Amino acid sequence: MTRIDDTFARLKSEGRKAFVSYVMAGDPDYDRSLEIVRGLPGAGVDIIELGLPFTDPMADGPTIQLAGQRALEGGMTLKRTLDLARAFREGDDTTPIVLMGYYNPIYSMGVAAFLTAAKEAGIDGLIVVDLPPEEDDELCLPAQEAGLNFIRLATPTTDDRRLPTVARNTSGFVYYVSITGITGSAEADAGDVGPEVTRIRETVGLPVVVGFGVNTPEKSRAIAEVADGVVVGSAIVSKIAAGDSTADVLAFVKTLADGAHGA
């Protein structure tokens, strides 16, 4: 059982849905990013998705791309991202952290070295968007052997033939991308999402968390009504980009978390 498994078991026993927040590590700088991340559990966040800055984030829209650029320009690296997670763990040993990003920085560090460092830093799961199931030997299986959940993405184009392949070595939860396209490009619709969540849950047997296109407390609640949890990223990152204070960013996060928890 990982922290992610424990969190979903606890939420299920409480009759609540999960609220997952995404922030880019090192945005707008290391110290401010750590301050925000440390404040997320108090704002109602159940699972933290920590973005790994990368130069070519193919699945991300302009908001997340610019956040990654700011972080990289500030000297953020994979090692410093793990340092940030380690610093967070000094005060919080229960909130799960999912590292979300692309394979190149991990490959450059070396899979074995990365997994050792990630586990030591307190990372609980990985979402690596550019590694398909056909490449599970590359990172997915070693990660699971190291005790990390490997969380797979499913999309509106993941049909019944493809879904069992996606599900094969997934653990923790399934991240359902509610729209076709990049982050921040459209709004999720609960009417469309609900049947897909049911289909995926029945096939995979894991909680299904929905992300992309959720940007208001009302939308957070509507999506949480039909899923096991909801992810918000671009809307939060936009507040950081606008220069909002940490207190204001966390207050906004709390409204989103309250929406999901009210489902």
The yes-or-no answer on residue 192 being catalytic is no
- Report the C-alpha dihedral over residues 120, 207, 253, 58, rounded to 10 degrees: 70
Cα–Cα dist 93/226, whole Å = 30
Please check whether residue 61 is in contact with residue 184, taking contact to mean a CB–CB distance below 8 angstroms: yes
- Calpha distance 1→8 (Å, rounded): 11
Q: DSSP letter at 86? A: H
CA atoms within 13 A on the CB side of 218: 2
Q: Quick count: other Cβ atoms within 10 Å of Cβ 2? A: 15
Please identify which of the residues 46, 49, 136, 228 carries the catalytic annotation: 49
The whole-angstrom separation of Cα 222 and Cα 215 is 11
Alpha carbons 219 and 187: distance in angstroms, whole number: 9
> 5, 60, 124, 196: which one is catalytic?
60
Q: How far is 125 from 203, CA to CA, in rounded Å?
A: 21
* 135 a catalytic residue: no
- Report the catalytic residues: 49, 60
